[in-house]
Amino acid sequence: MKTTLVILTYNEIVGLKETFSGIPMDAVDEVFAVDGGSTDGSLEFFKENGVTCHIQDVKGRGEAFRLAFEKATGDALIFYSPDGNETAADIFKFKPYLDDGYDIVIGNRMSDGGHNEEDGQFLKIRKWANNFFTLIANVMWNRGDFVYDTINGFRAITRSAWERISLDGPGYTIEYQSSIRAFKLGLKIKEFPTYEGQRIDEQEGSPSIETGLSFLKLFFREIKVGQRWKLIAPKK
Ligand SMILES: Nc1nc2c(ncn2[C@@H]2O[C@H](COP(=O)(O)OP(=O)(O)OP(=O)(O)O)[C@@H](O)[C@H]2O)c(=O)[nH]1
Ligand SMILES: [Mg+2]
212 falls within a domain: yes
Output the domain CATH number for residue 184: 3.90.550.10
Nearest CA to ligand 1 atom 19: 205
Quick check: is 198 in a domain? Answer: yes
Is residue 232 assigned to a domain?
Answer: no
Within-domain flag for 235: no
Rounded CA separation 123/155 (Å): 26
Does a structural domain hold residue 104?
Answer: yes
Percent of the chain residues topping a pLDDT of 90: 94
What is the per-residue pLDDT for 12? 97
Of residues 155 and 202, the one with the higher pLDDT is 155
78-131 tens-digit pLDDT: 999 999 999 999 999 999 999 999 999 999 999 989 999 999 999 999 999 999
Domain count, the chain: 1
Res. 173 pLDDT band, cuts 50 70 90: very high
Q: H helices of the chain, where?
A: 13-19, 42-48, 61-71, 94-99, 125-141, 159-165, 174-185, 208-225
User: Does the residue 201 lie in any domain?
Assistant: yes
Residues spanned by the domain of 198: 3-227
- Whether 10 is in the pocket of ligand 1, judged by its Cβ within 6 Å, is yes
Does residue 79 form part of some domain? yes
Query: 3-state class of 7 per DSSP?
Result: strand
pLDDT of residue 232: 75
Instruction: Write down the pLDDT at residue 236.
Output: 53
Q: What is the pLDDT of residue 230?
A: 86
Which one-letter DSSP state was computed for residue 195? Answer: B
The answer to whether 13 touches 82, Cβ cutoff 8 Å, is no
Mean pLDDT of the region 146-173: 97
- Residue 236, in any domain of the structure: no
Answer whether 0.95 is exceeded by the pTM.
yes
Atom of ligand 1 nearest to the CA of 83: 27
Closest residue CA from atom 14 of ligand 1: 205
User: Residue 204 — pLDDT band, cuts 50, 70, 90?
Assistant: confident
Span 11-37, mean pLDDT? 98
User: Residue 113 in 3-state DSSP?
Assistant: coil
H or E element in which residue 108 lies: strand 104-108
Answer yes or no: are the C-beta atoms of 130 and 110 closer than 8 Å: yes
Predicted confidence band of residue 229 (pLDDT cuts 50, 70, 90): very high
Q: Whose CA is nearest to atom 24 of ligand 1?
A: 205
Task: Tell me what the pLDDT averaged over the chain comes to.
Answer: 96
**Do residues 126 and 207 make contact, with C-beta atoms less than 8 angstroms apart?**
no
The pLDDT of residue 233: 61
Pocket lining: 124 vs ligand 1, CB cutoff 6 Å: no
Task: Report whether residue 217 contacts ligand 1, using a CB cutoff of 6 Å.
Answer: no
